[in-house]
């Protein structure tokens, strides 16, 4: 669980820090870290669009990022708010030499979406990976090659 430190800058626009005070459990975090190198990722686990591999399952996304040897830091956290500004999507993007690995989480909602985002942030922080937050304008640049 989290210490009583201040809310990180990369959580300024979402409610993921608050969710992480309760989730994931220490047991789930330990399980995710211990199984990262064991589980295989197959082509059925993602959709390929241009240079992007878009994962459907949060655990497979985490494994797909951590199993890759050449991921360029930071992990991009693209926040796309809804018009009300209190809910929206968070796209986590790991920029790789071959493909960018992407997962769509959410913030501000009830249900599994924000918990998936909390799991990503907890596991990546345990690996000392850091996030850089940007708005939705950055998203398309990760999907298609730069000229």
Residue 4 domain flag: no
- Name the E strands within the chain: 46-49, 52-55, 71-81, 88-96, 100-107, 131-135
Boundaries of domain holding 113: 11-39+48-143
Question: Tens place of pLDDT for every residue, the chain, 147 residues?
Answer: 455 578 999 999 999 999 999 999 999 999 988 887 777 888 899 999 888 899 999 999 999 999 877 788 999 999 998 888 789 999 999 998 889 999 999 999 877 889 999 999 999 999 999 999 998 888 777 666 554
Residue 128 domain flag: yes
Residue 6 domain flag: no
Residue 70 domain flag: yes
Domain count, the chain: 1
Do 82 and 113 meet the contact criterion of CB atoms below 8 Å apart? Answer: no
Residue 102 domain flag: yes
Residue 2 domain flag: no
Residue 126 domain flag: yes
Tell me what pLDDT residue 120 has: 97
């Amino acid at each position: 669980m989290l210490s009583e430190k201040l809310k990180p800058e990369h959580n300024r626009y979402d409610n993921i820090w608050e969710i992480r005070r309760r989730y994931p459990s220490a047991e789930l975090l330990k399980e995710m870290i211990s199984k990262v190198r064991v589980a295989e990722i197959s082509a059925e686990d993602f959709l390929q669009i241009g240079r992007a591999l878009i994962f459907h399952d949060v655990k497979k996304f985490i494994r797909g990022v951590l199993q890759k040897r050449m991921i360029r830091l930071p992990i991009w956290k693209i926040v796309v708010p809804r018009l009300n500004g209190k809910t929206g999507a968070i796209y986590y993007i790991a920029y790789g030499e071959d493909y960018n690995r992407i997962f769509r989480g959410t913030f501000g909602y009830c249900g599994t979406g924000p918990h998936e985002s909390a799991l990503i942030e907890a596991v990546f922080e345990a690996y000392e990976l850091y996030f850089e937050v940007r708005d939705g304008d950055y998203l398309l640049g990760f999907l298609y090659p730069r000229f």
